[in-house]
Structure 1
Amino acid sequence: MIIDGHCDVLYQLWRNPDWSFDNQQELRVNYNRWMNNDVKVQCFAIFVPPHIPEDLQFHSALEMANIFYERILKPYPKIKMVTSRDDILQLKEDEKGAMLTLEGMHPVGNDITKLKTLLHLGVKAAGLTWNNANAVSDGIGEVRGAGLSEFGKQVVEVLNTYEVLTDVSHLSYRGFWDVMDTAEYPIASHSNSFSVCKHRRNLDNKQIKALISRDAFMGVTFVPEFLADTDQTSTKDILNHIEKIMTLGGEDIVGLGSDFDGTDGIVKGIEDYSKYNSFIQELEGRFSSDFVRKITHENFLKALPR
């Protein structure tokens, strides 16, 4: 079983309404590729690009939620919506699980009802920011670097109440520590190690150890610029990040968060979904079978609220 903590298929289908999820070659994650690999559960993020006018952002988020239901779930009986650990464990052998997530709180503005609406639609993991600032917090790309606002603290309390994962990927450094103080279910859905690759989106050793102390989840992502400071990246770079997190004591938190269809960059050896199984074989050649099970699915399952 493989669980992937992040992809941007909904965004791609939203911006390309004539595309089909079935076998669109431009999609790194599509139905045909999914049915032919061992990914059991894929998290599908709602990501509204920041250039969308503020008064249209929530509507755009609703459009992507509708795409999730109408173009991912409805046409394919073998894809089941999952919102809990039990849902995942009860999937039949030929079934796949789709989990709805949110990347950035900018679509909700400062309206808690909009957030609750998305949670009622099934969002089970919510990132507080993209790279820019919003009413909740600054993102990692905001020079000011502010942490959670009072509204942001209210948002995290709502996520706690609804037992939804609070995602720190893209969040400012100060915001990260505010989440550690307030969130009951913190994760980093798609982030790598800063000590391996010094990109602002990656987490430093102190942050990773904080996630470890909370028994959280950290999905290593396949974005080339987050993997290595080079023009050519490969699956070996992904393994290097996994190994670094492990050496920090993160054997029980590290997992996978590909960010397929959210970036143009290509990692040699795992260019799209069709290469996932061979990548897992590479993991099995480097790490113990017990650790590979943790990486591929057990650590994600453990992080889900009971």
Structure 2
Amino acid sequence: MQIIDLHCDALLKLYESKGKVKFRDSLELDTNYERLVAGGVKVQAFAIFIYPDIKSDQKFQVALDQIHYFYTDVLANNPNMKHIKEWSDFDQLKEGEIGAVLTLEGVDAIGNDLQKLSILHQLGVRSIGLTWNNANLAADGAGEPRGAGLTTFGKEIVQFNNDHKILTDVSHLCEKAFWDVMEEARYPIASHSNARALCNHVRNLHDEQAKAMFEKNGLIHVVYCPQFVKEQGDVTIDDLIKHIDHFCALGGEKQIGLGSDFDGIMTKVQGLEDASKYPNLINELLKRYSEDTVKGFAYQNFLDYRPK
């Protein structure tokens, strides 16, 4: 079964290794090419992430450096990796090809300069989260105690996203900023979030937030980070599926997807340690849901609700 995975941090590992880690087969990567093939991944989203402690005047260059590895290693060294630049490109992928989408996890890299955001868009960024866990000039993240909403600049970014059919990712926002995005965004998505009712972590979504996403034709892609799945103890695929069950109970069966956070997490769900293990998840889902419903979770829901 084909998989669309909306979040991984492979570019950060490629950047930090200065090219020593190779996308094709380096075992350091949960989402290397060989593992994507083994897991049946049809489209992988690659996040650009910049640590908050990097000096402000260096952050945009770090973003460009990660994009450099996307072009020179992920794409150039693997002919079957195809750059997704338009939402219609999903439909053009041939047998054996894997789509690759650039996303931005936090807008720290652009400072207060929308022109830099335009450059990132031209380079292929198609989903933008306003924050990571910290605060920046656009909004407060989930880890910022102040918990403020969108700034005027943050609203300008969401409008830019709307105008260019870019997804606005709510996964790392604080609650106030989330609700501001709900008022502003035409294409909201939670690329890697779970249900707070099952795991009380600040990165997860309350039921009211999930319902708001579903009502606005947004998608929620469940994340495999064990700390976001279960508050304590070993975490299994069954524990992860409980979050899918919960979102279905809230009316989101047709708007649930997958957002692994592979290469951005240190610990793993048992049986779901890297992208090659996707069949384990699919097989467990097929024990509980119809094949069409599981196809929805795996890829079809995203295709149905992507920007048109």
| Shorter-chain TM-score tier | over 0.9
Matching of residue 184 in structure 1 with residue 186 in structure 2: yes
- When the two structures are aligned, how many residues end up with a matched partner? 306
| Cα pair 2:37 2:276 within 8 Å, conserved | no
- In structure 1, the partner of 2:11 is 10
Match among 62, 77, 80 for residue 79 of structure 2: 77
Structure 2 length-normalised TM: 0.98
Identity of aligned residues (%): 46
Structure 1 length-normalised TM: 0.98
Alpha-carbon distance in 2 for matches of 1:254, 1:20? 31
CA RMSD of aligned residues (A): 0.9
- In structure 1, the partner of 2:89 is 87
| Cα pair 1:215 1:252 within 8 Å, conserved | no
What's the secondary structure of 1:252's corresponding residue? Answer: helix
Alpha-carbon distance in 2 for matches of 1:84, 1:196? 35
The alpha carbon displacement at 1:147 in A equals 0.4
Q: Give the unaligned 5+ runs of structure 1.
A: none
Deviations 1:190-246 (A, max 9, x none): 000000100000000000000010111111000000000113101111100000000
Q: How does 1:18-167 map to 2 (within 5 A)?
A: 18-167=20-169
What's the secondary structure of 1:76's corresponding residue? Answer: coil
| Cα pair 2:135 2:144 within 8 Å, conserved | yes
What's the secondary structure of 1:286's corresponding residue? Answer: coil
Which letter maps to 2:6? G
The runs of at least 4 consecutive aligned structure 1 residues that moved more than 2 Å come to: 83-86
Alpha-carbon distance in 1 for matches of 2:16, 2:184? 35
Alpha-carbon distance in 1 for matches of 2:238, 2:63? 35
Alpha-carbon distance in 2 for matches of 1:194, 1:33? 30
What's the secondary structure of 2:221's corresponding residue? Answer: strand
Alpha-carbon distance in 2 for matches of 1:239, 1:257? 13
Alpha-carbon distance in 1 for matches of 2:186, 2:274? 33
| Cα pair 1:84 1:304 within 8 Å, conserved | no
Deviations 1:3-41 (A, max 9, x none): 001000000111112111121112111011122221100
The alpha carbon displacement at 1:303 in A equals 2.5
Alpha-carbon distance in 2 for matches of 1:236, 1:262? 21
The alpha carbon displacement at 1:51 in A equals 1.4
